[in-house]
Amino acid sequence: MADSLAREAEEVQYHLQCKKGDVGRYVFLPGDPGRCELIAREFDQYWEVAYNREYKTLTGTVDGVKVSVTSTGIGGPSAAIAVEELSRIGADTFIRVGTSGGMQWDLLPGDLVIVSAAIRDEGTTRQYMLIEYPAVAHLDVTNALVQAAKNKGVRFHVGISQSKDSFYGQHEPEKMPVGQELLARWDAWVKGNVLVSEMEAASVFVLSSIKKLRAGCICLVVANQERAKIEGKWEIKEDLTDLIKVAVEGVRVLIEMDGEEKVQLRKVKREL
């Protein structure tokens, strides 16, 4: 088994076209390949590793530590593939960096949401685990993102997201044969204080939990259809600046935290 895993890690991964050594342990996961460079510009330095299908990978350093960013495309299936293949070649900590739609009145377009858990309102994770299994972020990553948002002084919220499979099922449910069910489920999520709707967090969280990896998620609230219903107009904010700066700061916090943990572990070993 060990030999098989070693060979697997040395091979070029089918979808990502990356191999062991190409990526750092910390990986940002945007959906859009066009956002990879926007994130990498916050690194000390970076270079392109591979670009195949929706998967673009750039690697660089943050505070001298190797990190990467890999785009996943839209939705759970492609995000799951990214986590699968990245984890085979050395990545163990993921931050999903994306956009979302607000579901509570007090979420303003432009706000950030740190997703602590996700509703598995999608199909990908059912191929991995029974539906009763929760999709939760790792506490280390969530805490790091909270600290990062405080460090940057930005407006943010922490809470649950709805991970869905159909963008238009949310925005045009009346056109769907199951429209009434979609509307009823949306109403339940809103009443249950779900903060945002997005499409990838559940897959990233469930796979990471199963594989003993760490994952978190931070999203920009681009618009809020619940506010739009009442106000009669849409307000849209698509500036990713704060989102990206907080995500990268989150990895800085994790790097420091992981370093301190190693120091403490060495100290304990010496004392033993």
Q: Is 229 exposed, middle or buried (0-12, 13-18, 19+ CB in 10 A)?
A: exposed
Residue 257 reports pLDDT greater than 70: yes
The overall average pLDDT reported for the chain is: 94
**Helices 139-152/241-271 angle, 10° precision:** 130
pLDDT in tens, 199-210: 999 999 999 999
Distance between CA atoms of residues 206 and 163, nearest Å:
12
Report the amino acid identity of residue 256.
E
Confidence tier at 5 by pLDDT (50, 70, 90): very low
* Nearest one of 208, 186, 205 to 197, comparing CA atoms: 186
- Domain residue spans of the chain: 2-264
pLDDT at residue 198 in the model = 98
pLDDT at residue 272 in the model = 56
More confident residue, 271 or 123: 123
Confidence tier at 261 by pLDDT (50, 70, 90): low
Average pLDDT over residues 156-168: 97
pLDDT in tens, 182-197: 999 999 999 999 999 9
pLDDT at residue 8 in the model = 57
pLDDT at residue 128 in the model = 98
Cβ neighbours around 262 below 10 Å, total: 10
H/E element holding 252?
A: helix 241-271
pLDDT in tens, 77-95: 999 999 999 999 999 999 9
DSSP character string of 89-132: TT--EEEEEEEEEE-STTPPTT-EEEEEEEEEESSGGGGTS-TT
Looking at the domain that runs over 2-264, which CATH code has it been given? 3.40.50.1580
Three-state DSSP at 16 gives: coil
pLDDT at residue 251 in the model = 98
Average pLDDT over residues 215-221: 98
